Chains A and B, each alone.
Chain A
């Protein structure tokens, strides 16, 4: 397998096309423009590929709703403010059980914010984001190789569970380059019976989320909930790094987890036993794995490029069984591993 040096944004595009994505609609926004640009350049080189630069983010998400209904593998991408605009469509995809991949290359927010890396959209991504009782599978890659692998997996999971899947990364992941190897994608498994392609001689099909009867709507909600339960049981992913002998564990995802690993290296050079717990799926959150770890380790430091959002999930997982500290740098600031190491060292000593 040959390695190629590519930026995160381009990797997502290449992985999507290799995975069979044939419909992409998007509207430009920094720091994910290179992805839209990549799709514009490469969608036309594959058979049946469609690229549309839509008039808005709202148009883009509804275009992929339509294309997904017709059976295409679909993707759209944006950055924080643009993802807010897409929420209506994401809710619609969840309700209509339509597969699709949504990429959020987060920037400093709220509002228009800035274009620097940030992790302020955790709540929006993991709590559904749009209206109604639904969840979105959320992947949080931390390396360029993971961007490639998880993008491909995202399409498969979207099909298996007929639900939207989000790739949640940030400006740094989008711009950073690392060597990657693209794995061979699995053949698509998605039944024709879910696709609207004209009834022909068969029975007519419906895809709809307007269910006026409350009892029917309730059952639809429970049906989705049962699906989310299965996803929670089967699809949770996380990484543990040097936790075997750890006395303090940093909990971080994505870019923050990379900085945390750098900090851990420094701390261990100074004799402090620090490890990392890194959720790879943010929803479903690896709650049980973290709780299991708390039998061994009682001291935690949550580190996010936000004012503290995943912190809530860590608290829910640990339920008071462990000490939880927090260090956050919101708004587009990316601290150095040295800074985090200093914070962690204070937290480490406090526990003794």
Chain B
């Protein structure tokens, strides 16, 4: 098994946190994993992306030629990465702010209105965790309980209420993807 995912969006949307939390979960599941963030002169409102490779064998390249999954939180990211996705791959998109849809017919697209859903949960900042709920449900890269445990570990000493909101957000995304 080898799954590569690119997460991309505006700086500030928690895109790197999505990748980092997935990588952490994969490690706790006992998988090999690499997490490769974009870095550089980016600023809030600029673009950020990361590549996460999860496998049950040695991970050769942390750089992905054709990712299996693409998670896009804003429109420019969809334009940048949609053609990289492998044949038969999946694109998760934040349909709260992305109006466009990929023209490719050989991939699956899941539109998750994670921005609007976050408002309902009560905190726009958990849009990324809602998306992760849908992502974990559809891809099963790591089991939900292990992912949530990792998320808690990462959040660590931060407020208990934050952990609660994250849990709620994850559940909302997970349930949304059931349909």
Any chain A CB within 8 A of the CB of B157?
no
Interface residues of B (CB under 8 A from A): 20, 23-24, 27, 32-37, 39-41, 59-66
8 Å CB contact of B34 from A31, A176, A259, A338: A176
Kindly list chain A residues whose C-beta atoms are within 8 Å of the C-beta of B32: 179
Kindly list chain A residues whose C-beta atoms are within 8 Å of the C-beta of B36: 172, 175-177
- Of A198-206, A260-268, A287-295, which binds chain B? A260-268
What's the minimum C-beta distance from A272 to chain B, rounded to whole angstroms?
15
8 Å CB contact of B62 from A31, A116, A176, A265: A176
Kindly list chain A residues whose C-beta atoms are within 8 Å of the C-beta of B35: 5, 176-178
8 Å CB contact of A258 from B41, B60, B65: B60
> Which 4 pairs from chain A and chain B are nearest by CB?
A262-B61, A338-B65, A261-B60, A336-B65
Contact A334–B33 (Cβ < 8 Å) = no
Contact B61–A179 (Cβ < 8 Å) = no
B66 and chain A: residue at smallest CB distance: A338
8 Å CB contact of B27 from A3, A30, A116, A337: A3
Contact B23–A258 (Cβ < 8 Å) = no
| Contact flags A114-155 to B (C-beta < 8 A → 1, else 0) | 011000000000000000000000000000000000000000
8 Å CB contact of B23 from A5, A335, A339: A5
Kindly list chain B residues whose C-beta atoms are within 8 Å of the C-beta of A177: 20, 23, 34-37
Please, how many angstroms separate the alpha-carbon atoms of A253 and B48 in the complex? 27
B58 and chain A: residue at smallest CB distance: A261
What's the minimum C-beta distance from A179 to chain B, rounded to whole angstroms?
4
Contact B24–A5 (Cβ < 8 Å) = yes
Please, how many angstroms separate the alpha-carbon atoms of A134 and B85 in the complex? 49
Contact B65–A175 (Cβ < 8 Å) = no
Please, how many angstroms separate the alpha-carbon atoms of A30 and B62 in the complex? 20
Given A31-B39, A178-B34, A259 contacting B63 (CB threshold 8 A): yes
Please, how many angstroms separate the alpha-carbon atoms of A258 and B62 in the complex? 7
Contact B65–A179 (Cβ < 8 Å) = no
Please, how many angstroms separate the alpha-carbon atoms of A189 and B93 in the complex? 57
8 Å CB contact of B60 from A172, A179, A262: A262
Please, how many angstroms separate the alpha-carbon atoms of A192 and B33 in the complex? 43
Contact B33–A261 (Cβ < 8 Å) = no
Any chain B CB within 8 A of the CB of A171?
yes
Contact A261–B61 (Cβ < 8 Å) = yes
Kindly list chain A residues whose C-beta atoms are within 8 Å of the C-beta of B63: 172, 258-259, 262, 334-337
What's the minimum C-beta distance from A261 to chain B, rounded to whole angstroms?
4
> Known contacts A336-B65, A339-B65; can you find 17 more A-B pairs with CB under 8 A?
A3-B27, A5-B20, A171-B39, A172-B63, A175-B36, A175-B39, A177-B37, A178-B34, A178-B59, A179-B27, A258-B60, A258-B61, A261-B60, A262-B60, A262-B63, A337-B60, A338-B65
